[in-house]
Each structure stands twice: as structure tokens, then as C-alpha cells.
């Protein structure tokens, strides 16, 4: 098979031309213009088979990121598979706020609670070279993947441990960031089919109201924050006011809400006494 035949065949098996171009470039590691400039070049058989495998997985609605085991977040590349949530753009706001606060400190100690792939904690650690970032997750597989991503991103000021919230966390922190599960049950069952079928339920579902993890974390976080330390949450589209109330209940001060790129309340920041 030559490239011109490959293009013709791919046009039939991929519903979307952008998807076709995306996978061609990923599999063959060449810009799409190369394929049209070399129509008579013979196609590598193994790469062709891999492309067919990807096409079949995509036909079953599997996300790009899980097919390629790769996601880009905050300008960094991360390994992902079905054990971890695919990084969302909204979480970049959480990272930006944590970095901005961290830059006001000399050598901040930072905890990323419920870290998943580690995309948030690692991105913060890369921007704050003098910081020490601890990432934790209840899932052993998540911790394995977070440690893998530490190696991929070549950073030395970040580590990952398995812990059920604060269960195995030691010491105090200047900043705690968390993007915990926050989807209530009634919204979870209505999520996009691709999310329901492939992304980990453990990383999404948070009981009837969607705020149970904010309650659990806020109840204990004060003990792990230095005096005047910061806690930063990513929250669901309609949860900011309830999360603020939870933080007030446990004695946090200077509570502020920040919007995402869609003008939705997305980040809640508070301080310990």
C-alpha cells in the first residue's frame, strides 16, 4: 500500500477528517503535508496496523487521550489511561492560582490531594522550582501513573504517595490544592457516554450532592495547613456557594471565588486561621 491509497482508505474509516489527520500524524510522526507530498511512498505495515487499531478503538468512542496514552495540560505532556481522569482545561485555572500564591513564598510546601494523573501538582512543581510538592491519591494505580509522569516531566521537587485523603500525610503545608470528585449521582448518570464508559467512576462521583469530599477535606485540612496557609478547590459549575459555606463552617477565612474561561465559578480559595 502506498500513501495515496492509505489516505483514501482512512477517509472511509474515520468519520471526521480532523481525526484522520490527527491519528496519521501521531502514528507516522509526520506532518499531514508530508502525506500529500509523497503519494507514492510505501506505507510501513506495522504502522498501518496500529492505525487500524486506533481507528477501531475510536469507532467505539474511546477518548483520544486513552488511545494514545497521552494528554497535554498546562503545556506539559502526561501519560494517561483509563485509571485516571483526562485532564480538563478548567483545572489549569486551579494551577494558575496555586502558582501565583506560591510565587509569594520563599520555598512553599504544597499538597495536591486526590492527584489522579498528577497533572496539577507536577505543573505547579515545574513552575515553582523552589517548592516541594507532595501528591496523593487513594488509588494505587493513580499513584503509579503520577510517579510515571514525574519521570516524564523530569522534575525532582515532586513525589507521590498513596493515601486516603490525609490518612498517610505528614507535616504541614503552605498550600493545599484539590480537584476531588464532585459530580452528584443525578448528574453522573447523565454524563456523556464517552465519559461514562471510559473514565474512572472513582474520580468523578461524589455522592448525592457532589460536595461530600469538600466536607471531608475541609474538616481536616486546617490541621495540615500552616498558619495563614491556603486551600484551593476546583468545584462543580453550581457548587461554589455551598463549598464556601463548608469552608466558613470549619473556620477558614478570606474565602474567594474565581471564574473559569466560560465565566463559571470554578475555583474557591480560602486561608487557615
DSSP string, 101-118: HHTTSSS-EEEEES-TTS
pTM of the model: 0.92
Residue 66 lies in a domain: no
Domain enclosing residue 31, as ranges: 3-60
User: If pLDDT is split at 50, 70 and 90, which confidence band does 11 have?
Assistant: confident
Euclidean distance between CA atoms 111 and 5, whole angstroms: 52
Residue 49 lies in a domain: yes
Do 48 and 91 lie in one domain? The reply is no
Euclidean distance between CA atoms 63 and 111, whole angstroms: 29
Do 172 and 200 lie in one domain? The reply is yes
Residue 89 lies in a domain: yes
Strand partners, 65: none
Over range 101-108, report the average pLDDT. Answer: 98
Residue 69 lies in a domain: no
Residue written as grid cell 484522520: 20
Task: Kindly give, in sequence order, each residue whose CB lies less than 8 Å from that of residue 6, ignoring residues fewer than 6 positions away.
Answer: 24, 35, 43, 48
The number of domains in the chain is 2
Q: Which of 16, 35, 60 is the last residue of a domain?
A: 60
Do 156 and 216 lie in one domain? The reply is yes
Do 55 and 89 lie in one domain? The reply is no
- Judge whether residue 163 has pLDDT over 90: yes
Over range 243-254, report the average pLDDT. Answer: 98
Do 104 and 163 lie in one domain? The reply is yes
- Judge whether residue 129 has pLDDT over 90: yes
Do 93 and 7 lie in one domain? The reply is no
Do 121 and 243 lie in one domain? The reply is yes
Strand partners, 6: none
Q: Which of 23, 38, 60 is the last residue of a domain?
A: 60
Do 179 and 107 lie in one domain? The reply is yes
Residue 133 lies in a domain: yes
Give the CATH number, domain containing residue 166: 3.40.50.150
**C-alpha angle 107/112/117, rounded to 5°?**
125
Contact 211, 268 (CB under 8 A): no
Give the rounded distance of the alpha carbon of 149 from its chain centre: 12
Euclidean distance between CA atoms 88 and 98, whole angstroms: 16
Do 129 and 43 lie in one domain? The reply is no
Euclidean distance between CA atoms 19 and 25, whole angstroms: 10
Percent of the chain surpassing pLDDT 90? 87
Residue 67 lies in a domain: no
Tell me what pLDDT residue 241 has. Answer: 98
Residue 68 lies in a domain: no
Do 148 and 241 lie in one domain? The reply is yes
Do 51 and 162 lie in one domain? The reply is no
Do 173 and 238 lie in one domain? The reply is yes
User: If pLDDT is split at 50, 70 and 90, which confidence band does 17 have?
Assistant: confident
Residue 11 lies in a domain: yes
Q: Which of 30, 132, 126 lies closest to 78, judged by CA? A: 126
Tell me the pLDDT of the chain averaged across its residues. 95
User: Strand ranges (DSSP E) for the chain?
Assistant: 71-73, 76-78, 109-113, 132-137, 158-162, 173-178, 225-234, 253-259, 265-271
Amino acid at each position: 500500500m502506498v500513501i495515496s491509497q492509505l489516505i483514501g482508505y482512512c477517509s472511509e474509516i474515520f468519520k471526521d477528517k480532523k481525526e484522520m489527520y490527527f491519528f496519521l500524524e501521531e502514528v507516522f510522526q509526520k506532518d499531514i503535508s508530508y502525506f500529500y507530498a509523497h503519494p507514492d511512498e510505501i506505507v510501513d505495515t506495522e504502522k498501518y496496523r496500529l492505525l487500524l487499531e486506533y481507528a477501531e478503538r475510536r469507532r467505539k468512542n474511546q477518548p483520544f487521550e486513552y488511545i494514545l496514552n497521552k494528554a497535554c495540560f498546562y503545556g506539559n505532556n502526561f501519560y494517561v489511561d483509563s485509571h485516571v481522569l483526562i485532564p480538563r482545561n478548567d483545572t489549569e485555572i486551579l494551577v494558575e492560582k496555586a502558582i501565583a500564591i506560591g510565587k509569594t513564598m520563599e520555598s512553599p510546601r504544597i499538597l495536591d490531594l486526590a492527584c489522579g494523573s498528577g497533572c496539577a501538582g507536577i505543573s505547579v512543581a515545574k513552575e515553582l522550582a523552589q517548592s516541594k510538592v507532595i501528591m496523593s491519591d487513594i488509588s494505587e494505580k493513580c499513584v503509579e501513573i503520577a510517579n510515571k509522569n514525574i519521570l516524564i516531566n523530569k522534575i525532582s521537587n515532586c513525589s507521590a504517595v498513596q493515601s486516603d485523603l490525609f490518612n498517610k500525610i505528614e507535616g504541614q503545608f503552605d498550600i493545599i490544592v484539590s480537584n476531588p470528585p464532585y459530580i452528584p449521582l443525578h448528574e453522573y448518570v447523565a454524563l456523556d457516554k464517552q465519559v461514562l464508559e471510559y473514565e474512572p467512576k472513582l474520580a468523578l462521583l461524589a455522592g448525592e450532592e457532589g460536595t461530600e469530599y469538600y466536607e471531608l477535606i475541609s474538616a481536616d485540612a486546617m490541621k495540615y495547613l500552616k498558619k495563614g496557609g491556603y486551600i484551593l478547590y476546583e468545584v462543580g459549575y453550581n457548587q461554589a456557594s455551598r463549598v464556601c459555606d463548608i469552608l466558613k463552617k470549619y473556620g477558614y477565612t478570606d474565602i474567594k471565588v474565581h471564574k473559569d474561561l466560560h465565566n463559571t465559578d470554578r475555583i474557591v480559595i480560602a486561608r487557615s486561621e
